[in-house]
Amino acid sequence: MSNELTIGIIGLYTLVYVIVFFVQKSQISQTKEINASMKSFMDIFKIDEVKKYVEMRNERIMHDATKMITDSEQIKKMSDDLIKNTTAPIQEAYSEIMAERYKELVKVVFEVVLTQEPERQEQFIKDLLPNNEHYLLPMLKDYKNNDS
């Protein structure tokens, strides 16, 4: 019985080793499958490719937003109103400042015209100040009428 018991124990150990071998083999196979699936997963998500995709998507969004803004009638109307509302006060202030400066310059020019000989004053204005002739000639006539 000792031989049979020894053979039985050896058989039982062999059976346990075979079972352990198959369990370990299945675990190794699962580990290989997991590694392969992780590698394919990582290959799908290459960082540079994802960055390029995100950049392209952002560019597309910006392009669409720009197009929407430039094509939108409401945006155009708002921008036109904004331009009118902001430029009108600036134009008025500029006109007031320039009107005062213009008056000063006209006075100086008129004084220069008056230094000319009376018969030469009109010709002086026509020759040297043709763009302001329509303004200076009536002024000269009023001055002469008030002076006489």
- Give one DSSP letter per residue of 40-62, joined into a string: HHHHHT-HHHHHHHHHHHHHHHH
User: Do both 73 and 38 map to the same domain?
Assistant: no
User: Do both 41 and 52 map to the same domain?
Assistant: no
Instruction: Report pLDDT for 45.
Output: 66
User: What is the number of other CB atoms lying within 10 angstroms of the CB of residue 25?
Assistant: 10
Integer Cα distance of 139 and 11 in angstroms? 135
Residue 129 belongs to a domain: no
User: Do both 6 and 22 map to the same domain?
Assistant: yes
Ranges in the chain, pLDDT < 70: 1, 44-45, 71-72, 148
Q: For 38-71, how does the pLDDT look when each residue is reduced to its tens digit (9 = 90+)?
A: 887 777 667 777 788 889 988 988 888 787 777 6
User: Count of domains in the chain?
Assistant: 2
Integer Cα distance of 128 and 33 in angstroms? 98
Domain that holds residue 50: 46-97
Instruction: Report pLDDT for 148.
Output: 59
Instruction: Report pLDDT for 38.
Output: 80
User: What is the number of other CB atoms lying within 10 angstroms of the CB of residue 141?
Assistant: 11
Residue 50 belongs to a domain: yes
User: Do both 54 and 38 map to the same domain?
Assistant: no
User: Do both 38 and 75 map to the same domain?
Assistant: no
